[in-house]
Amino acid sequence: MGGSPSSIIRAKRVKNRFIMSTITLLTDFGSEDAYVGVMKGVILSVNSSAKIIDISHAVDPQDLVEAAYLIQSCYRYFPEHTVHIVVVDPGVGSDRAIVALEMMGHVFLVPNNGVLTLLVDEGEIDAMVRVENTHYFLNPISQTFHGRDIFAPVGAHISMGIDINSLGSPLDPQDLVSLDIPKPRISNGDELIGTFVSIDRFGNCISNIDGDDLKKFAGNDDEKGFEIKTGKNIIAGFSQRYADVEPESPLAIFGSFGYLELALNCGNASRRLKIKKGDAITLKLKK
């Protein structure tokens, strides 16, 4: 697939720049094949002191919406000056751009395909460029594995302190691809309607409804009761912990990343309740 150890340019630490020694990886590569391991090998060949953290490699293939929610939910738990590499890239080998974005003390290296849609609403962009300086790429470049040949070496060089402006020309925020990600909506004033965007390995079904959405819908009255419905399943009210219900019983709970999820205590809610990504979830105030 191209590339060789001799084609890797070892970076020199740059004076007066932050050294971003932590690099995260978020991909849809899975763990069965060699792709993730090879990316890590390239990173370490450039920056042998890099700390590489796997956010996840279990994004469903080509699922840009799931990737957008994951990077927006997870980046904040890493120290400032972390480099976040996202390779969920159905357009690999095409003319889609690769973007390096610096904001909120972090750098994000992603394909320009919408995975930044939720993130860019979080703060001000400090710098953003189209990655095109081949000096930082492996050579030759495979048309099917930019994760190895572009993302990994470029991310490693960034972690050594290079200014992202040396990677290519500035990219106007208007040229950043945006996904049409469904947002929760209030219907007829009495229902909050959201969508399931992710299902984790436990079968917990995670929606796009967060605490702010709930507050806009119901105000501050904690005494109000809720009915949560998806398909033929109806759950009364929220739980504070999985153990609030009997084993194998369903519950609605705001999970660790702040989004409402439907779960099954010690069971798989996706299978039992027949929920899949893209299904609707409805909250209604009890009369």
Say how many C-beta atoms besides its own lie within 10 A of residue 8's C-beta.
20
Confidence (pLDDT) at 287: 66
CB-based contact 102:126 (threshold 8 Å)? yes
Interval 166-183: pLDDT, tens: 999 999 999 999 999 889
Interval 54-105: pLDDT, tens: 999 999 999 999 999 999 999 999 999 999 999 999 999 899 999 999 999 9
Q: Would you list the DSSP string of 240-280?
A: SSGGGS-TT-EEEEE-TTSEEEEEETTB-HHHHTT--TT-E
pLDDT at 9 over 90: no
For residues 235-261, give the mean pLDDT. Answer: 94
Residue 118 inside a domain? The answer is yes
CA distances from 90 to 32, 59, 64, 173 (A): 19, 12, 9, 21
Residue 66 inside a domain? The answer is yes
Residue 158 to residue 164: CA distance in whole angstroms: 7
Confidence (pLDDT) at 192: 95
For residues 154-170, give the mean pLDDT. Answer: 96
CB-based contact 152:43 (threshold 8 Å)? yes
**Domain shared by 117 and 203, yes or no:** no
**Domain shared by 105 and 65, yes or no:** yes
CA distances from 275 to 36, 62, 214, 235, 279 (A): 30, 20, 21, 14, 7
Residue 155 inside a domain? The answer is yes
**Domain shared by 122 and 209, yes or no:** no
Cis peptide before 140 (omega within 30 of 0): yes
Task: Mark which of 141, 175, 209 sits at the end of a domain.
Answer: 175
Total domains, the chain: 2
**Domain shared by 150 and 76, yes or no:** yes
Domain span at 56? 5-175
Interval 191-211: pLDDT, tens: 999 999 999 999 999 999 999
Task: Mark which of 175, 195, 212 sits at the end of a domain.
Answer: 175
Q: CATH no. for residue 235?
A: 2.40.30.90
Interval 107-119: pLDDT, tens: 999 999 999 999 9
**Domain shared by 157 and 242, yes or no:** no
Q: CATH no. for residue 102?
A: 3.40.50.10790
Task: Mark which of 132, 147, 175 sits at the end of a domain.
Answer: 175
